[in-house]
Structures are given as structure tokens and as C-alpha cells.
A = this chain, B = another copy of it.
Amino acid sequence: MSPDWLDTIHWNPDGLIPAIAQETGTGKVLMLAWMNRESLQRTLETGEAVYWSRSRQRLWHKGESSGNTQRVVQMRLDCDRDTLLLEVEQRGGIACHTGRHNCFYHRYQDGDWQVVEPVLKDPDQMYGDKT
């Protein structure tokens, strides 16, 4: 049996809920990922963000490869109970797999999406160069 607080969440047909990660202090929105029941429960237990990777179909402890984990300061749920908002401390100051501070680095300008955020660290260094 799962706890009541998990049952009051409105999971989508795939058993998932979108989770927005917002950086504590700066208020910057870092990324959006997805959680299932197990990942949310593990997030609570460990105090670090654990998502559900839809592409890999497995639990994804954010930062497990790069070390850029997210310490969860607080968790919020919205009015419709179908979106989570996590206030997190982003270790390493890099949330994006491209080596940028956050994932929202395309800005709509002049009729197209322009890259407006710098790469802070080479992804090969973050994940180890496999070549």
C-alpha cells in the first residue's frame, strides 16, 4: 500500500507527473522532468531529485553520472494535483546535459529559436569521453 500523499496526486495515464526543478536562491527554472510513484518516494527518502527517464524507462537519480545532483529544499503540488514544483540546490551549478546552467537555453527571437546561454563545462568532461 502506498501512502495517502502519493494517492492524492493525479498521475497521467502512464503513471507519471511532470516535475519542474527551480533553483533555490536564484529562482531560475532549471529543467522539467517526469516522476512516477517510486521516483517521487525515493526523492523524499533520499532528499535528492530522482526522476523517471522516459527514454531509458528507468529511475534516473539526477547527477548519477555527472555528480550534478539536486538537493531538494521543498516540494510543491499544484491546484489540479498534476504538476510538481521542486525547489532544489543544483550541485555543480549545471543542470543541463549540454553543460549549461539550465535547459532553457533557446530563446525565441527574430522568428526562430536562438541559443542564448553559454556552455559552462564540456559534456565530455561531465560524463567521461567514451571515444
Contacts and interface: CB of A to CB of B under 8 A. Distances in A.
Contacts of A31: 78, 83
Interface in A101-121: 103-108, 111-113
Q: How many interface residues does chain A have, given as a range?
A: 35 or more
A50 interface: no
Given A20-B20, A113-B5, A108 B77 contact: yes
B113 A78 contact: no
Contacts of A83: 31-32, 103-104
A108 B81 CA distance: 12
Given A20-B32, A29-B20, A108 B78 contact: no
A29 B85 contact: yes
